Structure 1
Amino acid sequence: MSSPDVATAAQGTGWGTLQLLGNELATQFRRPRTWAMLAALALIPILMGVAIRIVGGSSPGRGPAFLDQVTNNGFFLALAALTVAIPLFLPLTVSVAAGDAIAGEASHGTLRYLLIAPAGRARLLAVKFSAAIAFCVAATLIVVVAGTVIGWVLFGFGPVTLLSGAQVPVGDGLLRLLAVAAYVSVSMVGLSAIGLFLSTLTTVPIGAMAATAILSVTAQIIGAIPQLEAVHPWLFTDQWLGFGDLLRSPIVWDSFAGNALLQAGYVLVFGAAAIARFTTKDILS
């Protein structure tokens, strides 16, 4: 094949990948299930805000982090909602999105048709993983946006007192909140890679979803056992709640970088395992 032909083929493959990703994202975000999960996540800050407005805030040191500060500044409602969503609700929705990636296509009999296009299986895995990451971002942002809006409506906003004691304007606080959302989204990427790998092992989506969610809970239980402290740094859940450094002055990025490196390790390991499994799998449906 001549050089122009190679370039044309490469461009075609790249454009085809973008088209496939666009179709995947459109399909994912048109599903009633996706919107039901996002709506359930949005309910977390809404219910918390209404409950605090009616009953009043908790005493310092009681309840989730930041909850006792919500009545004084609605900015903290989004942070409190995130600390509630991270251990269970966010991982559960991410497990559904990632666990369904390949197994869902197999169960509906559409997987073989997706693999007809050139460049096949590895590209399809990359597209599915990209769509899972997009869902991680959307799921995190829905909690943050809903918490920010409800917090502003019910309690108003004011200068934000950081964990270090410094006070910053609302605009600076909102930028830090976006950084926290990015941190949490990155935290879910490793779980997405695990879910994608498990999705290549079965044609039953609910099995991959459940296994992913169970692994998330199991890792958090192990992380709470002091006798197993030696393995804590290797758990993909170890730094899920470590975004406090983004709420200090000046911002400390070490925890963000450490979390990103940890999740990247899981992506490499389970991404490679997913490719090894999927590229040798006999596709029957």
Structure 2
Amino acid sequence: MSQAEAAAVSPLWTLGLLRSELSLTFRRWRTLALLGVLAAVPVLIGIAVKIETGDGGPAGGGGGGGPAFISQITNNGLFLVFAALAATLPLFLPMAVGVVAGDAIAGEANAGTLRYLLVAPAGRTRLLLAKYAAVCAFCLVATLVVAGSALTVGALLFPLGEVTTISGTTISFGEGLARAVAIAVVVAASLIGFAALGLFVSTLTGSGIAAMAATVGLLITVQILNTIPQLHAIQPYLFPHYWLSFADLMREPVYGEEVLRNLGLQGLYAAVFGSAAWARFTAKDITA
């Protein structure tokens, strides 16, 4: 094949490789099970709030450290979207991403299919980019599954209408819904740094289970470090530190400083660990 022919085929092959990776990721039973568990979380929260308020109890505590969204659910079902994202983001969503990212390369090596995927004109860099794009797509789909499930349950169990922001002002339901979509996108983007970290871990071993366990273990460790007051000096540099800053999008006017810090930090993690994954993967001896 001439260089001109190879250049013409390259974009088509890249697109086909990306489609193949997306199909492989979302057709796995493990992926579907993870999405099913994530979809169930808003259902459980909605039912719990409905039962509690039905018994005459309070509508949920707003005295915790996170955004006080649960106490608003009974007044407006749209708040179930924000409460569900706040509940799943610290652990459930990133754990699901960690499983998918950790298995991306190591799972192929463990199954003995990695060498076949590297047959020209695929190449290691192109394959790694396709894997990372598929993991990022999972971040978005997983977040939208949580938000969609929460919106459906919230509409079925609670009234919908004008939305009271954290600042105490009132906005229309349409604007509230638009902010819910923006929040879901921000939450999905909050996971791209951790996705790159998981992909890097996946290039270090040929065992998919070991890579998934190590990635989830890193998540839990960093989350613990983020809660220790004595480590406040390093906490702003930990990838989950600004995850819950999406609550600022429900202020009036919108306060976006910490949201931008979060997105910048995720971009930095994605660049650093994405580069580390590329350096490791392109120099790695592929025997399986």
In structure 1, what is the Cα distance between the partners aligned to 2:65 and 2:154? Answer: 17
What corresponds to 1:104 in structure 2? 107
In structure 1, what is the Cα distance between the partners aligned to 2:104 and 2:161? Answer: 42
Mapping for residues 1-285 of structure 1, pairs under 5 Å:
6-56=3-53, 57-61=59-63, 65-285=68-288
- The sequence identity of aligned pairs, in percent, is 51
User: Any stretches of 5+ residues in structure 1 without a counterpart?
Assistant: none
Q: Select between 39-48 and 113-122 the one with higher mean Cα deviation.
A: 113-122
Amino acid at match of 1:48: I
Shift of 1:7: 4.9
Shift of 1:252: 2.7
**CA deviation vs aligned residue, 1:147-184 (integer Å, no higher than 9, x gap):** 01100110021100011111111110011011111111
In structure 1, what is the Cα distance between the partners aligned to 2:122 and 2:85? Answer: 39
**CA deviation vs aligned residue, 1:45-66 (integer Å, no higher than 9, x gap):** 0011111112222244259631
Amino acid at match of 1:195: G
Shift of 1:223: 1.1
**CA deviation vs aligned residue, 1:232-265 (integer Å, no higher than 9, x gap):** 1110111111112211122233223211110111
TM-score normalized by structure 1?
0.95
Q: Select between 57-66 and 133-142 the one with higher mean Cα deviation.
A: 57-66
What corresponds to 2:56 in structure 1? none
Q: Select between 53-62 and 9-18 the one with higher mean Cα deviation.
A: 53-62
Amino acid at match of 2:100: A
Q: Determine if contact 1:77/1:148 at 8 Å carries over to the other structure.
A: yes
Relative distance call for 1:133 and 1:124 in structure 2 (3 A) is: same
Q: How many pairs align?
A: 282
Q: Determine if contact 2:13/2:121 at 8 Å carries over to the other structure.
A: no
Shift of 1:211: 1.0
Q: Determine if contact 1:62/1:68 at 8 Å carries over to the other structure.
A: no
Q: Determine if contact 2:70/2:80 at 8 Å carries over to the other structure.
A: yes
User: Any stretches of 5+ residues in structure 2 without a counterpart?
Assistant: 54-58
Runs of 4+ in 1 over 6 A off after TM superposition: none
Pairwise CA RMSD of aligned residues?
A: 1.5
